[in-house]
Chains A and B, each alone.
Chain A
Amino acid sequence: QKEVEQNSGPLSVPEGAIASLNCTYSDRGSQSFFWYRQYSGKSPELIMSIYSNGDKEDGRFTAQLNKASQYVSLLIRDSQPSDSATYLCAVKYSGAGSYQLTFGKGTKLSVIP
């Protein structure tokens, strides 16, 4: 069974610090990796996608992928109180049913002013 694991948190960081969120996945045949942000009471919003090993930067966000170790991470630099949300890791597996995503349960981030 394909699984995506995240630390549920809460992860608390002071304003201006770097927040580091981690995710591991079970199936080596994965092809696409995504990070979603979900504010309380709202729907998930895509913030990053990554497909190749290495780092991908977008503003204050950096996604890191290591397929050999089967983990993907999200770094948030200069964290702001508005970054306080639950962050969902999602993985798209190759093969039959490859249009489906498997989601982790999310890590709750709290940025303290």
Chain B
Amino acid sequence: SQTIHQWPATLVQPVGSPLSLECTVEGTSNPNLYWYRQAAGRGLQLLFYSVGIGQISSEVPQNLSASRPQDRQFILSSKKLLLSDSGFYLCAWSVRRGREAQYFGPGTRLLVL
């Protein structure tokens, strides 16, 4: 069966510091990968998605970036965090084609102070 991991689970960072969140998927090959952010009391916002190694599409202009160095690894980064970057960051995967759902990892809760 497929498993998706995210770490760290919780992170408290000062404004202006860098960020690196990692997501890995097990039990599947060639998945689509996604990064979402969920701010307090708000809906899911798609940040980035990837259909393959090195292929990244950005949905929202911001100070975040994403990379996919391996088939089942997806990384979310920032060079300088803003207060507004606080939120619940979720990685998800889906099969490459078809009508199936996305499946979420456990998430990383980020607080920028």
Q: Hey, which bits of chain A sit against chain B, CB under 8 A?
A: 31-32, 34, 36, 41-46, 49, 51, 88, 90, 92, 99-101, 103-106
Contact = CB atoms under 8 A, between A and B. Distances in A.
Interface string B91-113: 00010110111111111010000
B88 to A, nearest CB: 8
A46 B49 contact: no
Contacts of B99: 31-32, 51, 92
B82 interface: no
Contact of A44 (B42, B51, B104): B104
Closest A-B pairs by Cβ, 4 of them: A105-B43, A32-B99, A43-B104, A43-B107
Interface string B23-38: 0000000001000000
Contact of A45 (B42, B43, B104): B104
A99 B43 contact: no
A46 B103 contact: yes
B42 to A, nearest CB: 7
B46 A90 contact: no
B49 A99 contact: yes
Contacts of A45: 104
B43 A106 contact: yes
22 contacts: A31-B99, A32-B99, A32-B101, A34-B101, A36-B104, A41-B109, A42-B107, A43-B105, A43-B106, A43-B107, A44-B104, A45-B104, A46-B101, A46-B102, A46-B103, A99-B51, A99-B96, A100-B46, A101-B102, A103-B43, A105-B42, A106-B43
